[in-house]
Amino acid sequence: MRKYVIMGAQGSGKGTQSELLCRGLDLVHISVGAVFRWHVKNRTKLGARVRRLVTAGELVGDDLVEDVVRERLAQHDWNHGFVLDGFPRNRRQAEFFLESYDVDAVIHLDLPDEEVRRRVLARRLCSRCGQDYNLISRRPEVEGRCDVCGGELVTRADDTPEALDRRLADHHRTTGPVLELFRRKEHVVTVDASAGMDAVQQRVRDRLGLPPHLPPG
């Protein structure tokens, strides 16, 4: 069983690195943001409560996020472990997490703000199946269309320059204290996330003592 938390600013590659880590190691990628986006898209009751905040890139209330994480982890569909992405995001969430759960390591992806901006504004998402793209590093074969299902590629509603600046400021304010709390109890590895996705994945695995990353092809 392997359990990890992954942290980093938007665009630092949390989603991509989580997916690469999960593939091969048979872990489950638990993205809290993706859970909320699913609820918004499918117009659930929870979706209606969080729609405005998620669209504006603002944080959802701690009680609600904690309930979502507790319920998600209680599903126990992660026999071999999980990578938790997007949680905890502040001190209170970290205290809640540390009271109830243990992880093998916290992966902190480190990226300068300028590179965060460049990457985030190039992000696209398939409106049908949710596959991620990036016009810099992971372009679709046909412009504007998903390689997997042919759906239309759109910009995430919270990937505007204004929402991004707000999230970056939040990120800097809250990340330090969260890492500090984690360092007292857990193994924290900080990895430079500015290289390509395969190189970053290899660094993460080296630091965690995991089997090597085998890029496709």
Residue among 69 and 210 whose Cβ is closer to ligand AMP = 69
- At 214, the amino acid letter reads L
Q: What is the DSSP letter of 29?
A: E
Which range in 81-89, 96-104, 171-179, 190-198 contacts ligand AMP by CB under 6 A?
81-89
CA distance 34 to 43: 14
Which range in 51-59, 136-144, 147-155, 180-188 contacts ligand AMP by CB under 6 A?
51-59
Question: In whole angstroms, how close is the CB of 208 to ligand AMP at the nearest point?
Answer: 22
Segment 98 to 157, residues that bind ligand AMP, using CB under 6 A: none
DSSP string, 165-180: HHHHHHHHHHHHHHHH
In terms of Cα–Cα distance, which of 104, 107, 99, 103 is closest to 16? 107
> Using CB under 6 A, which of 54, 109, 116, 126 touches ligand AMP?
54
> Using CB under 6 A, which of 40, 78, 158, 210 touches ligand AMP?
158
Which token pair is 192?
Answer: 């430079």
Which range in 19-27, 52-60, 70-78, 139-147 contacts ligand AMP by CB under 6 A?
52-60
> Using CB under 6 A, which of 46, 86, 153, 182 touches ligand AMP?
86
In terms of Cα–Cα distance, which of 193, 215, 214 is closest to 204? 193
Q: What is the torsional sign of CA 190, 177, 96, 98?
A: positive
CA dihedral 104, 90, 113, 124 (to 10 degrees): 80
The residue annotated as part of the active site, out of 72, 119, 124, 167, is 167
Question: Which residue has 């890492």 as its token pair?
Answer: 179
> Using CB under 6 A, which of 33, 111, 201, 210 touches ligand AMP?
33
Is 167 annotated for ligand binding?
yes
Cβ(17)–Cβ(109) under 8 Å? yes
Residue numbers at the binding site for ligand AMP (CB under 6 A):
10, 32-33, 36, 53-54, 57-60, 65, 86-87, 89, 93, 158
Q: Which residues are annotated as a binding site for Zn(2+)?
A: 126, 129, 146, 149
- Among all residues, which ones are annotated catalytic? 14, 89, 123, 156, 167
